[in-house]
Amino acid sequence: MKRSLRVSQVGEEGLIERIKRSIRTDSGVIRGIGDDCAVLKGPSGRHLLFASDMLVERVHFLRSSPPEKVGWKALAVNVSDIAAMGGLPRHAVVSLGLPPQTPVAWVDRLYRGLRRCARRFGVNLVGGDTNRSDRLVIDVAILGEVEPSRVVYRAGARAGDWLLVTGRLGGAVRSGRHLTFIPRVREARALTQKGRLHAMIDLSDGLSADLSRLCRASGLGALLDASRVPRRRGVSLRAALTEGEDFELLMAAPPREARRLLRWAKWHLRCGLHEIGRVVPRRGGSVLPAGFRHF
């Protein structure tokens, strides 16, 4: 008897591609499966951004993690997806999978963190669902908006573009920063206003994995300058490339625009903006270490 194919064999990217091939959408969808957000036709000349992210106990947080920080992260990872498209977050729904013995006080504290993040980024919490689960699960879906002239996709990078990244990378889980990071909404809005970006993605699974996604979406490769990859103090290069949970922004911009953005960022972008390499034809790209794998 032939053994059925397992999710672990195809991996996250293979599974998403398999699902994508089976889905058909109508003219209301500008960009569907395969980016940080779906992009939909919206009112008043704006596009709607629609995304969801799930946190699972023992994968993204521990039962001992402060519930307020888990709540913050549950919404912040979704806000980061909106930022990666150049948009503004607006509304979210929160669905919970809860073991029956979960203390109500834990849920109260979780929502304290959700509300804190919602206030910080102007998000309305407007509903959701609850259900029985064997472990804690927090699933958030978010709706945002963006001007058509400022939306940025993963696809769109061009050979010769400079690769730029905000902030510093590595050590997020060890330091606990993966539960308290600040999504780069303000930075993304400023960058899309000040310059022309060809592609952008947020760094959830590590620079290596997410750069590979950006390159695949654009049909190109990349060359990284290891000496330029910005790292947190005490973090190795490999950790900065592979650990993930940084939620910084990686972007590709034409050289002239990149130089201008770097000059502007030096005085106006508190988190910093760093040039780390070039976009090149696929055959000329680097072989990068693997980042976080979901399966």
**Pairwise CA distance, residues 155 & 174, whole Å:** 32
pLDDT tens track, the chain, 295 positions: 457 888 888 877 788 888 888 889 999 999 999 899 999 999 888 999 999 999 999 999 999 999 999 999 999 999 999 999 999 999 999 999 999 999 999 999 999 999 999 999 999 999 999 999 999 999 999 999 999 999 999 999 999 999 999 999 999 999 999 999 999 999 999 999 999 999 999 999 999 999 999 999 999 999 999 899 999 999 999 999 999 999 999 999 999 999 999 999 999 999 999 999 999 998 765 655 554 454 3
The verdict on residue 152 lying in a domain is no
Tokens of 180: 């308290």
Boundary-marking domain end, from 146, 179, 195: 146
Same domain, yes or no, for 134 and 166?
Answer: no
Same domain, yes or no, for 212 and 85?
Answer: no
**DSSP secondary structure letter of residue 227:** G
Tokens of 130: 């609850």
Report pLDDT for 181: 97
The verdict on residue 290 lying in a domain is no
- Start-to-end C-alpha separation, the chain: 24
Report pLDDT for 177: 95
Report pLDDT for 285: 59
Nearest CA-CA partner of 140 in 95, 76, 180, 84:
95
Boundary-marking domain end, from 84, 119, 146: 146
Report pLDDT for 283: 76
Same domain, yes or no, for 35 and 82?
Answer: yes
**Pairwise CA distance, residues 223 & 3, whole Å:** 40
The verdict on residue 236 lying in a domain is yes
Report pLDDT for 294: 44
**Pairwise CA distance, residues 201 & 207, whole Å:** 10
Nearest CA-CA partner of 75 in 90, 59, 57:
90
Report pLDDT for 284: 61
Report pLDDT for 292: 45
Same domain, yes or no, for 16 and 125?
Answer: yes
Q: How many domains does the chain have?
A: 2
Report pLDDT for 295: 38
CA 202, 226, 268, 190 torsion: positive or negative? negative
Supply the range of the domain harboring residue 191. Answer: 162-284
CATH number (domain holding residue 273): 3.90.650.10
Same domain, yes or no, for 272 and 211?
Answer: yes
Please tell me the pTM assigned to this model: 0.92
Same domain, yes or no, for 22 and 127?
Answer: yes
The verdict on residue 272 lying in a domain is yes
**Pairwise CA distance, residues 164 & 218, whole Å:** 16
Spell out the long-range contacts of 185-188 with Cβ–Cβ below 8 A and sequence spacing 24 or more: 185/79, 185/82, 185/83, 185/88, 185/89, 185/121, 187/83, 187/249, 187/269, 187/271, 188/83, 188/84, 188/86, 188/87, 188/249
